[in-house]
Amino acid sequence: MSAPKRWLDDGGGATRFERDLLRLGASHEPPAAAKDAVWTALLAQIPPIPPGSTGGGAAPGAGAAKAAAAAKAAGAAGAATNGSAALAGAVGGGLLKSALIGAGSAVALIATYAIVTPATVSQPPPPAPTAIEAVGAPGTGVRSAIGERGAAGAAAPVTPETQGLPAIADSAAPLAAPAAATSAEPRADGPAPSAGRDPRGPLGVSSGPVGPMDRETRLLEESRRLTEARDALRRGDASGALSRLAELQRAVPGGILGQEREALAIEALAKSGRASEAQARARAFLQAYPQSPHATRVEAFAR
């Protein structure tokens, strides 16, 4: 049985356009941040210790403990022994699963990680772990084969991450204000009583010093609800997503994942036909967070 020639080879019998299209397809590589993001998420779900020495258990508490070890193993942040860093790992796992707003989510995950860690641990943010990969990605050679366009594509995913990180970390604290100001949702003026899910008290703390446990609780809660909203949106249930997001904003007004919530809300508004509202909030978002990793995505709704 003789093997056929490949279409991409000379004399393979494909038209020029077919070959162009295939060459483009062959050049497809993961965004620079993806590898580290998936790894971090993975480590939050698997025990890094040899099997047999842990009892397993997927309960949230056990998950956090696992994530602590995982974050340390990953070396993703220099402060991994701190509980909040471990939490970032755990939330990262959930976030990745939720893939908040599409293709940018891997970058968003890294950015989110950066939001949490420097704010609670008084250490400088770690160097972007994916920088080396971005530069040395073996795919660049293939990309250059398809011309300048490929180069533009390769550069794109790197930018928000390398440029956006410091800005995000700086803006972590005042997240609450612009989000509330631009909100068209009712009852956004004050924290609602907790739904009774959390014995530690109301989640709606938007300013002042926050203890590490409160912060963790809030993050996990936010992450969980964002995932639900995002799933609803992906199912095509834009109004369900919107009401979940509104609930989330009431429960956690000054959310640590405020940008993610707002970006998702803008998308949901657009999808439910409320284009002018989506536009207004997209513009406000871009004004408040010009360096956001979600900016590119949100820009599409601002026009």
Residues near another protein (CB under 8 A) are: 1, 3-4, 6-8, 17-18, 20-22, 24-26, 28-30, 34-35, 37-39, 41-42, 45-46, 96-97, 99, 102-103, 105-106, 138-139, 148-150, 152-153, 156, 234-236, 296-297, 299-300, 303
Of 102, 219, 116, 114, nearest in space to 163 by CA = 114
Nearest distance in Å: CB 103, another protein: 5
Phi-psi category of residue 252: left, alpha or beta, with phi > 0 → left and psi -120 to 50 → alpha: beta
87 vs 257: CA distance, rounded Å: 14
Q: Least distance in Å: CB of 274 to another protein?
A: 16
Q: Is the dihedral of CA 147, 148, 149, 151 positive or negative?
A: positive
| Of residues 97 and 283, the one with the C-beta less far from another protein | 97
Helix residue ranges per DSSP H, 27-82: 34-43, 60-74
Cβ at position 9, least distance to another protein in Å: 9
Q: Indicate the residue among 27 and 171 with the shorter CB distance to another protein.
A: 27
d(CA 192, CA 95): 24
Instruction: Give the integer Cα–Cα distance in Å for 53 and 37.
Output: 26
Closest distance between another protein and the C-beta of residue 298, in Å?
11
Q: Tell me how far apart the alpha carbons of residues 221 and 69 are, in angstroms, rounded to a whole number.
A: 22
- Find the helix packing angle between 238-251 and 212-234, rounded to 10°: 170
Least distance from C-beta 22 to another protein, angstroms?
6
Nearest approach in angstroms of CB 88 to another protein is 17
When the beta carbons of 199 and 236 are compared against another protein, the nearer one is 236
| Residue with smaller CB distance to another protein, 46 or 195 | 46
Q: Smallest distance, Å, CB 83 to another protein? A: 24
User: How many CA atoms, within 13 angstroms, populate the side-chain half-sphere of residue 223?
Assistant: 25
Number of residues assigned to the chain: 303
Is the distance from CB of 69 to CB of 87 less than 8 angstroms? no
Pick 7 or 194: Cβ nearer another protein: 7
Q: Do 222 and 198 contact (CB within 8 A), yes or no? A: no
With beta carbons less than 8 A apart as the criterion, state whether 256 and 117 touch: no
CB nearer to another protein: give 35 or 283.
Answer: 35
Q: Which is nearer to another protein, 90 or 205 (CB)?
A: 90
